[in-house]
Amino acid sequence: MSSLQFALLEKGFHKATSPEGLIRYEKKVDDYSVPVDFLTDAPPHTQGSATVDDIVASVLPGINRALATARTVRVTGTDLAGDHQTATLRVCEVGPFLALKLRAFLHREQPKDAFDILYTLLHYDRGPAAAFSAFAEEIRAENSACPDALLCLQRHFDSEASLGPSKAAQFFPGPVTPSESADIRFQRLQIQQEMVNAARLLKAGLSSTGGHQ
């Protein structure tokens, strides 16, 4: 047994399966389930799994680029032992994150993935223009998630009625209900419009890369 597997088991994690059918480790902490997923790039493969140091990792195109470009942030909180900690963590930068999220939406069509794209573009700490440029840079860098990300933009974000904007508006303000108010309907339409505009700007930013529009 590898040292990493042993460390996870020692901390109370157990092998489990994600909703997508992927192997992961999980631990129950109070009322929450804490999952740990292992991911790897394994070109030319775009799905399935690979063994890395005796850990079964799910193949996820784009994860190597995300790791290579990650930035560091300081976070404060309570660890699994209940101790207060301040740590410096690596987090995914916006360009690789958008590529991964678009690819995820292409394959699983989940409302949260669509809304995460819009939320990230609206709230990225360096501004929307920097986020659009960062995504274009992923095309230039030949991020392995980008072929699917571009296909997703072309297939699912052309209009307010397209799957991406519609799904984003199902995540927030929530699923459509027959009795919802005019304010909620307006909010839903606004999300769909913002989603379409964001997708257009993402595609427009690809002109200088030679990418598809």
Q: What is the pLDDT of residues 68-115, one digit of tens each?
A: 999 999 999 998 788 999 999 999 999 999 999 999 999 999 999 999
Q: What is the pLDDT of residues 152-177, one digit of tens each?
A: 999 999 999 999 999 999 999 999 99
Burial class (CB in 10 A: 0-12, 13-18, 19+), 99: buried
Domain limits of the chain?
A: 1-60, 94-208
For the chain, helix, strand, coil in percent to 5 are 50, 20, 30
Q: Are 42 and 63 in contact (CB under 8 A)?
A: no
- The answer, yes or no, to whether residue 210 has pLDDT greater than 70, is no
